[in-house]
Copies of this chain bind each other. A is one copy, B any other.
Amino acid sequence: MKTMEKHDKYPAHGGDCKQNNIRLDFSVNINPLGPPKSVLNALKNPASLLGKYPTPDQYALRKLLEAKRNIPMDRILIGNGASEIISILAGAIATRKLKNSSTENSGNILPVASVIAPTFSGYERALLAYGFDIKYFELTECYDFRFNESFIDRGIKDIDNLDLVILCNPNNPTGEAIPKTLIKKIADECQKRDIILAIDETFMGLVNNKSKYSCESILGKNKNLILIDAFTKLYAIPGVRLGYCATYNEELLKAISFIKPEWSVSTFAEAAGIAALSENSYIDEAITLIEKEKKYLLKELSSLGFCPQEGDAPFILFSIPQKYNAKTFYDKMIKDHGILLRNCSNFHGLDDHYFRIGIKKHEENVELMKALKNVSSYCSQGTRLQQ
């Protein structure tokens, strides 16, 4: 597995930061404010949460989400993080194809999915695990990895027997958000062809002017559309796993619910989610901070000669000069500065000169920039010495 090998060289986030002497983990891209106090309070008495079984359907949490998102609670399914939702969605669609094939005796057994590249590598992982044939719509570097309407032809119409389209909005790692108007066109095309369109809005909650991009308001009008979201990034709580999906497609929601392992949402996760939804100003504060710091980081990264992508997400993709040794660059950031970056070589379509950073608080971003300057200077000297 190409992906796995690359992971070994550049470990994904989630590694043991203590063990690797990492002080600042810029590889994660979560709310820079850290977990809200309400959530910490909700979990401070573990005895009350440990000894009881999870609720079977997270009624209380779905009720709160209904109010927050204006989506009826019976259209919502809670899962053990967005990653579980993505996995069981892939599983449900693969199983449907398997069952249909066994009765129809048709030749098309393997399910087919369309994704863009680069995008979140978790889709590829989940889809391959369930035997999907994956078609990639490649975003090109020369157009700054911009998504465009030609996806409707090349990413949908041109693909035979397509079952599932997954889009990340805003896209990880490029940061670009697709406007709702374009999402609607794509969704309409999917509806015509009875293809499921999954929009992963895991980062949407931290996007400025979210209503321009989120598919929330068009969900009720298109039964082929399914929205995926999570609490992880929005409330900076990756330690408990909590995500959800919403769709007006009853058959699909039933199939996903059925394939979801029982009791998969821990009592800790549900309690955290309920507390998080009581927050009001927390999200606005985070967005204000992210927008301000994004401007700072984009300017500073450019001034170093790196090529950052301007985007809508709470993270930034940038590339370092091709002449730098990317592995040396990555390692020195850890060894000399205790800073972990996300190397993007395991994203289909990117090489190891691409890095992604989460946006943190100002002092931390300043520290990052100092370290980048220092390591950049070392790498460019190394280049000169080798010449």
Contacts and interface: CB of A to CB of B under 8 A. Distances in A.
A309 interface: no
Contact of A241 (B39, B46, B263): B263
B87 A261 contact: yes
State the oligomeric state as a number of copies. Answer: 2
A289 interface: no
Contacts of A272: 50
Interface string A1-30: 000000000011111110000000000100
Interface stretch (A98-106, A197-205, A244-252): A98-106
A186 interface: no
Contact of A128 (B28, B94, B258): B258
A34 B51 contact: yes
A240 interface: yes
Contact of A240 (B28, B39, B236, B266): B266
A226 to B, nearest CB: 16
Given A50-B39, A95-B130, A259 B87 contact: yes
A371 interface: no
Interface residues of A, number: 66
B259 A130 contact: yes
Contacts of A51: 34-35, 236-239
A22 to B, nearest CB: 11
Interface string A253-285: 000001111111011110010000000000000
Nearest to A99: B131
Interface string A77-93: 00011011011100100
A53 interface: yes
A142 B235 CA distance: 56
Contacts of A40: 46-47, 50
Contacts of A267: 239-240
Contact of A239 (B39, B52, B80, B126): B52
Contacts of A13: 53
A110 interface: yes
A239 B83 contact: no
Contact of A101 (B15, B94, B95, B109): B109
A350 interface: no
A43 interface: yes
Given A15-B56, A51-B238, A266-B268, A102 B91 contact: no
Given A129-B95, A130-B95, A83 B266 contact: no
A14 B263 contact: yes
Contact of A110 (B91, B102, B237): B102
Contacts of A80: 80, 84, 241, 261, 264
Sorted nearest first, the 6 A-B pairs with minimum C-beta distance are: A14-B53, A239-B267, A43-B46, A87-B261, A83-B261, A129-B259
8 contacts: A17-B52, A35-B47, A52-B238, A80-B84, A80-B264, A98-B131, A129-B259, A266-B269
Given A50-B236, A91-B259, 17 more contacts: A14-B56, A14-B263, A28-B53, A34-B51, A35-B47, A43-B46, A51-B238, A51-B239, A53-B239, A80-B84, A87-B259, A87-B261, A91-B130, A94-B95, A240-B266, A266-B266, A266-B268
